[in-house]
């Protein structure tokens, strides 16, 4: 990636109505563009981050046997009438639309009603179970307020997975695996230490659901956190009875704010019952399939990470989701400097180390500020001075000091 060829630019300005820190930083860095409240375009560098996050989620979900599909956003009214969720009184954040002939359609806020009848086509025996199907797909929700930047979109990217099991034991086994996968995801995204499994309302079909909450003052949920146990309780289910059941003393809890980055639910037969998703067990007895659903807010995660991992200079991406690993700043344009910077760019690229090469005609101060704002983990400078001393100047985004290193050491450090 050559900066001179990127159509996006960094900027000092943000839209006047943008109050969320994550969106301000991402807009200034040229990662996203605000279309309207809760609706953002992902620009080239932002899209790389979004895809990197999604791919980490995919790897962890594939590892527990999830099978990826991509379902449409347009949804059949009849499916939602089957479960009683077409009504705006039941679901208050529907976006709906119509075909030219007047047929009403929904824009998916979730996909239980589409996947459950789809799965019916493929389950012919208990031997087909268990299965888990997921997608990374755009959801539409007519949120009342959307002032938290990427953390509350009206159109946003979610990973949603649905599991189908013959027995409760089979369901529980997968549910536990999903918890482990979620823990891995948040760890790999660099927010493992501030993200806690949280007991939350389970709806009418199970006692609790499990949310994954990332601690942040910008969070909208109130939680009671037990650091000792590494779990939290959402205020919505915080009662003496729940405390007793979880074996937690009230006095040991901290009241904190959290951002819900994920939520997993046992659905029992809430959706399989109305759609008559059944199969026969080994004894030939008809069984209604037991379902679970498992969400992760992919774009909300990007906002959350921007919110948490940043300083007064800008973003600080963990290496595995950064849009590039190295920001190569070429200072000046003397032939030797250009030659050496071009050579290093080619060398790193050939070694599969992703580089954002700042080959613009810009002042050093501008290049350093942009490197910091964009949050690229490593910055390398090639200048007249480094050419003279036959070194490269290397600085991590998170350290104050730059060091001068040989080409060999540079490649070794960046290759790790």
Q: Which residues bind Mg ion (CB under 5 A)?
A: 263
299 makes contact, choosing from ligand ATP, Mg ion, none, with CB < 5 to 8 Å by partner type, with ligand ATP
Q: Which does 75 bind (CB under 5 to 8 A by kind): Mg ion, ligand ATP, none?
A: none
Q: Could you say which of Mg ion, ligand ATP, none residue 153 binds, taking C-beta under 5 to 8 angstroms by partner kind?
A: ligand ATP
- Closer CB to Mg ion, residue 28 or residue 263? 263
How far apart are the C-alpha atoms of 149 and 139, rounded to whole Å? 16
Residue 36 neighbours by CB under 8 Å, 6+ apart: none
Strands 67-68, 131-140: pairing is parallel
Q: Which does 143 bind (CB under 5 to 8 A by kind): ligand ATP, Mg ion, none?
A: ligand ATP
Using CA atoms, how far apart are residues 139 and 116, in angstroms rounded to an integer? Answer: 17
Nearer to ligand ATP, 261 or 329 (CB): 261
Would you call 367 helix, strand, or coil by DSSP?
A: helix
Instruction: Return left, alpha or beta for 11; rule: phi > 0 is left, psi -120 to 50 is alpha, else beta.
Output: beta
Q: What are the phi and psi torsion angles at 144 (to 5°)?
A: -60, -50
The token duo for 2 is 């050559």
Q: Which of 165, 261, 324, 373: binder of ligand ATP (CB under 6 A)? A: 261
Nearest distance from residue 394's CB to ligand ATP, in Å? 36
Q: x/- string (CB under 6 A) for ligand ATP, residues 131-150?
A: ----------x-x-------
257 versus 385: smaller Cβ distance to ligand ATP: 257
Residues 263-322 that bind ligand ATP (CB under 6 A): 263, 295, 297, 299-300
The answer to whether 357 touches 345, Cβ cutoff 8 Å, is yes
> Which residue has 């279309």 as its token pair?
35
Residue 155 touches which member of ligand ATP, Mg ion, none, C-beta under 5-8 Å by kind: none
CB of 154 to Mg ion, least distance (A): 16
CB neighbourhood size of 7 (10 A): 7
Q: Which does 156 bind (CB under 5 to 8 A by kind): ligand ATP, Mg ion, none?
A: ligand ATP
Residue reference for tokens 């002939």: 101
Judge contact between 151 and 260, C-beta under 8 A.
no
Strands (E), 80-220: 95-98, 104-107, 131-140, 155-165, 195-201, 208-215
State the sign of the Cα–Cα–Cα–Cα dihedral 308, 239, 145, 202.
positive
C-alpha span between 153 and 156 (Å, rounded):
5
Token reading at 390: 């036959």
With respect to ligand ATP, which residue has the nearer C-beta, 216 or 378?
A: 216
CB of 304 to ligand ATP, least distance (A): 9
For residue 257, give Cα distances in angstroms to 214, 219, 240, 305, 371.
8, 5, 20, 15, 31
The least distance separating ligand ATP from the CB of residue 107, rounded to whole angstroms, comes to 13
Q: Between residue 150 and residue 179, which ones bind ligand ATP under the rule CB under 6 A?
A: 152-153, 156, 158
Q: Which one of ligand ATP, Mg ion, none interacts with residue 190, CB within 5 to 8 A by kind?
A: none
Which one, 110 or 354, has the nearer CB to ligand ATP? 110
Residue placing its CB nearer to ligand ATP in the complex, 126 or 294: 294
Query: Is omega for the bond preceding 254 within 30 degrees of 0, making it cis?
Result: no
Q: By C-beta, is 150 or 356 nearer to Mg ion?
A: 150
- Give least dist CB 328 to ligand ATP, A: 34
Is 219 a residue that touches ligand ATP (CB under 6 A)?
no
Shortest gap between Cβ of 158 and ligand ATP (angstroms)?
5
Instruction: Select 114 or 393, whichever has its Cβ closest to ligand ATP.
Output: 114
Structure tokens at 17: 């109505």
Q: Note whether 378 and 405 are within 8 A (CB).
A: no
Residues forming contacts to ligand ATP in the complex (CB under 6 A) are: 141, 143, 152-153, 156, 158, 260-263, 295, 297, 299-300
């Amino acid at each position: 990636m050559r900066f001179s060829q990127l159509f996006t630019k960094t900027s000092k300005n943000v839209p006047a109505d943008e109050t969320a820190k994550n969106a301000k930083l991402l807009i200034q860095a040229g990662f996203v563009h605000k279309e309207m409240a809760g609706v953002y375009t992902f620009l080239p560098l932002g899209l790389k981050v979004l895809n990197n996050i999604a791919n980490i989620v995919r790897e962890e979900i594939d590892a527990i046997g999830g099978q990826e599909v991509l379902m449409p956003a347009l949804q059949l009214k009849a499916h939602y009438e089957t479960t009683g969720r077409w009504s705006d009184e039941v679901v208050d954040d529907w976006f709906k639309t119509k075909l030219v002939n007047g047929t009403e359609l929904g824009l998916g806020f979730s996909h239980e009603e589409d996947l459950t009848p789809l799965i019916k086509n493929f389950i012919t025996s208990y031997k087909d179970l268990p299965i888990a199907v997921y997608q990374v797909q755009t959801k539409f929700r007519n949120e009342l307020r959307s002032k938290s930047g990427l953390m509350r979109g009206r159109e946003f990217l979610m990973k949603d997975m649905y599991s189908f099991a013959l027995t409760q034991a089979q369901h529980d086994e997968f549910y536990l695996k999903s918890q482990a996968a979620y823990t891995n995801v948040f760890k790999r995204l660099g927010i493992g230490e501030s993200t806690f499994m949280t007991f939350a309302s389970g709806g009418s079909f199970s006692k609790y659901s499990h949310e994954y909450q990332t601690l942040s003052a910008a969070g909208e949920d109130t939680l009671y956190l037990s650091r000792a146990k590494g779990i939290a309780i959402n205020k919505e289910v915080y009662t003496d009875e729940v405390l007793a059941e979880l074996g937690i003393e009230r006095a040991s809890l901290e009241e904190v704010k959290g951002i819900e980055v994920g939520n997993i639910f046992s659905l029992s037969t809430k959706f399989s019952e109305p759609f008559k998703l059944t199969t026969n067990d080994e004894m030939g007895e008809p069984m209604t399939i037991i379902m679970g659903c498992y969400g992760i807010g992919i774009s909300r995660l990007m906002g959350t990470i921007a919110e948490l991992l940043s300083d007064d200079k800008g973003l600080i991406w963990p290496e595995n989701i950064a849009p590039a690993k190295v920001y190569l700043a070429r200072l000046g344009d003397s032939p030797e400097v250009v030659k050496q910077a071009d050579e290093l760019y080619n060398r790193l690229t050939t070694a599969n180390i992703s580089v954002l090469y700042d080959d613009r005609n810009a002042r050093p101060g501008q290049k350093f500020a942009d490197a910091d704002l964009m949050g690229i983990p490593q910055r390398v400078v090639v200048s007249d001075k480094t050419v003279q001393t036959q070194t490269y100047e290397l600085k991590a985004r998170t350290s104050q000091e730059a060091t001068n290193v040989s080409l060999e050491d540079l490649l070794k450090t960046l290759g790790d």
